[in-house]
Amino acid sequence: MMKLEGALFPWRFRLVVGLLGIMVAAIAWRIIDLQVVDRAFLKGQGDARSVRHIPIPAHRGLITDRNGEPLAVSTPVTTLWANAKEMQTAKEKWPALAAALGQDPKALAERLEAQANKEFIYLVRGLTPEQGQAVLDLKVPGVYGIEEFRRFYPAGEVTAHMVGFTDIDDHGREGVELAYDEWLAGVPGKRQVIKDRRGRLIKDVQVTKNAKAGKPLALSIDLRLQYLANRELRNAIIENGAKAGSLVIMDVKSGEILAMVNQPTYNPNNRRNLQPSMMRNRAMIDVFEPGSTMKAISMSAAIETGRWKPTDTVEVYPGSLQIGKYTIKDVSKSEGPVLDLTGILINSSNVGMSKIAFDIGGETIFRLAQKVGLGQDTGLGFPGERVGNLPNYREWRKAETATLSYGYGISVTAIQLVHAFSALANNGRLAPLTLIKTDKAPQTTQVLPEAVAKTMQTMLQQVIEAPRGVFRAQVPAYHVGGKSGTARKTSVGTKGYAENSYRSLFAGFGPMSDPRYAIVVVIDEPTKAGYFGGLVSAPVFSKVMSGTLRLMNITPDNLPATQQANATPVVPLKANGGRG
Ligand code: 59J
């Protein structure tokens, strides 16, 4: 055999081998070049231009009142942040930056020096887009802007407790903002971008995920009533030198809370110098003994048994009753030795109520109190909401049966109390409470026979309209009903009751021709002229009920006969009723 390769193509063979050799060498060189010689440079270049995902903030849902009035609005803002490391390269621009930010140049310089190796610090958050752009236009190296949203609360302190607020990252922190955070928040989107090492945007590649806006929420409250309630409560707190207070208005047919206000309050748009006492939504997170307002429930229970009717009488003489070592006392002396059931409510006789309680038994009162929601979970799930306490009747001895029947030894929230009264107002039907606007009729529960509720309505109207009644609760042109209460506050640290610190209460509803609105007024520690619920809280009830009936266009049911015949709704107040 011949040696083919050598003999036939010696030069071609060498050429091919030679070329291949050069190619291998070239590739090897390039590999070494990339992997070893230029490694650092190339790695830097790659890092410098990298694909990033940056969040697109989601627009938080608008909170409105029942008529669409805005209560919490998200507005676009610009937040300025800095790469402090990068900023060290252009210190000469710092004074101009400080001026544009309205900050002290020395303080800013100190801060930037101190954080000189940080690649992300906030410079200022929540500027208006115009303010932010003005700073960015200075083109200070290392200063960047991001778009965010910030909450603004147009009704300020008037809706503060109800609406709550979000934190600087726009997460719900209090109130409805917290309770409905998931609903309101939405989902942030994502944008794919190419940024350089300094975080500067080189190319906006694409939106990889659209931001999903949060959903709007219409609350049950009516801003006009909220303003009215806030104004009257605030005035009463000032006039009476009181520590605090709450007021709730409820639509007894729909279960909607139409207004809920507390004093003291705060401006949610400026939360500097906040004291915790200002932030309490007392109507739901503070519990108290309902005192004599409880008699409306105990009396309902008595009438429901069929053993008692309004004209039956009870001996209340001499205005006190001894139960073991415990004495039950009436504060106001009755005109005679006996009172009928209506008289017991008018005179607010603890003795009379206790005797009825002994007759019907604690369990009867307990069952109804439970059914109307006293000391029970409201189901609202409001942040910090309290359930209160209705002790089980099995634990009631004779003294407890008595004191519970007139409102001590039980603790409730203002919203529970208005709910309980709503059942009497709505002919025995209890509508579940809601803070959200509802359009369809609620599923109500008959917690008291209609006839009993109607009897109670008549009696509670007498409490206000009878000669010795709580005349300060009367409302011009309408019939209304209700019950006052004055409760000694339990003194801290002792088991007993304070000598001179009181809670003044009033709970009532109207108009009696077709009860629609229930209102509870709580005034904590009045210190001026007087402290009786009938003196301090009843006038607030009167003013707020009067304004409510007029704003809601309710036909008067208590005009002189000549006018009543052709009564039409009174002229409603202006749409901003009472805001000014
Ligand atoms: C009262 C109580 C305290 C707790 C008493 C108010 C009791 C009681 C122990 C003395 C003032 C006062 C469990 S008064 O609410 O009866 O609203 O217009 O605080 O009775 O046994 O110097 N209310 N108030 N009682 N305690 N314990 C009346 C009444 C009520 C009125 C006036 C006069 C009390 C008519 C209250 C009102 O109906």
- Residue 18 included in any domain: no
- Ligand 1: distance of its center to the CA of 440 in Å? 41
On whether both 236 and 212 belong to a single domain, the answer is: no
Cβ atoms 186, 212 nearer than 8 A = yes
On whether both 142 and 64 belong to a single domain, the answer is: yes
Residue 191 belongs to domain with CATH number: 3.90.1310.10
On whether both 190 and 314 belong to a single domain, the answer is: no
C-alpha to C-alpha distance for 108 and 182, rounded to whole angstroms: 37
pTM confidence score = 0.88
On whether both 121 and 209 belong to a single domain, the answer is: yes
On whether both 187 and 241 belong to a single domain, the answer is: no
On whether both 127 and 227 belong to a single domain, the answer is: no
- Residue 13 included in any domain: no
- Residue 63 included in any domain: yes
Say what the pLDDT of residue 135 is. Answer: 96
The total number of structural domains in the chain stands at 2
C-alpha to C-alpha distance for 481 and 519, rounded to whole angstroms: 10
Binding site membership of 401 for ligand 1 (Cβ less than 6 Å): no
Q: Which atom of ligand 1 is nearest to the CA of 535?
A: 18
Domain span including residue 151: 54-218
406: phi then psi, degrees, rounded to nearest 5:
-115, 25
C-alpha to C-alpha distance for 127 and 42, rounded to whole angstroms: 39
| DSSP character string of 74-119 | EEEEEEEEE-HHHHGGGGGGHHHHHHHHT--HHHHHHHHHHTTT-S
Taking residues 158-174, report their average pLDDT: 96
- Ligand 1: distance of its center to the CA of 236 in Å? 20
Say what the pLDDT of residue 296 is. Answer: 98
pLDDT digits (tens, 9 = 90+) for 128-137: 999 999 999 9
Residue 474 belongs to domain with CATH number: 3.40.710.10
- Residue 572 included in any domain: no
Binding site membership of 531 for ligand 1 (Cβ less than 6 Å): no
- Ligand 1: distance of its center to the CA of 488 in Å? 7
- Nearest residue (CA) to ligand 1, atom 16: 331
Cβ atoms 85, 142 nearer than 8 A = yes
On whether both 72 and 109 belong to a single domain, the answer is: yes
On whether both 412 and 553 belong to a single domain, the answer is: yes
On whether both 495 and 407 belong to a single domain, the answer is: yes
10 Å Cβ neighbour count for 447? 21
Binding site membership of 487 for ligand 1 (Cβ less than 6 Å): yes
Q: Which atom of ligand 1 is nearest to the CA of 484?
A: 17
- Residue 414 included in any domain: yes
Ligand 1 test: best mutation among 289, 292, 501, most atoms within 8 Å of CB?
Answer: 292
- Residue 461 included in any domain: yes
Q: Is 292 annotated as catalytic? A: yes
Binding site membership of 319 for ligand 1 (Cβ less than 6 Å): no
On whether both 409 and 320 belong to a single domain, the answer is: yes
Q: Which atom of ligand 1 is nearest to the CA of 487?
A: 19
- Ligand 1: distance of its center to the CA of 14 in Å? 119
On whether both 474 and 435 belong to a single domain, the answer is: yes
C-alpha to C-alpha distance for 283 and 505, rounded to whole angstroms: 13
On whether both 339 and 484 belong to a single domain, the answer is: yes
Distance of alpha carbon 32 from the chain centroid: 67
Say what the pLDDT of residue 162 is. Answer: 98
Binding site membership of 408 for ligand 1 (Cβ less than 6 Å): yes
**Residue where one domain finishes, among candidates 218, 241, 271:** 218
Interior angle at CA 311, CA 308 and CA 314, nearest 5: 70
pLDDT digits (tens, 9 = 90+) for 17-50: 999 999 999 999 988 888 888 888 887 777 667 7
- Residue 451 included in any domain: yes
- Among the listed residues 292, 348, 504, 546, the single catalytic one is 292
Assign 219 to helix, strand or coil.
strand
User: Using 50, 70 and 90 to split pLDDT, how confident is the model at 203?
Assistant: confident
Say what the pLDDT of residue 5 is. Answer: 52
- Residue 286 included in any domain: yes
pLDDT digits (tens, 9 = 90+) for 474-484: 999 999 999 99
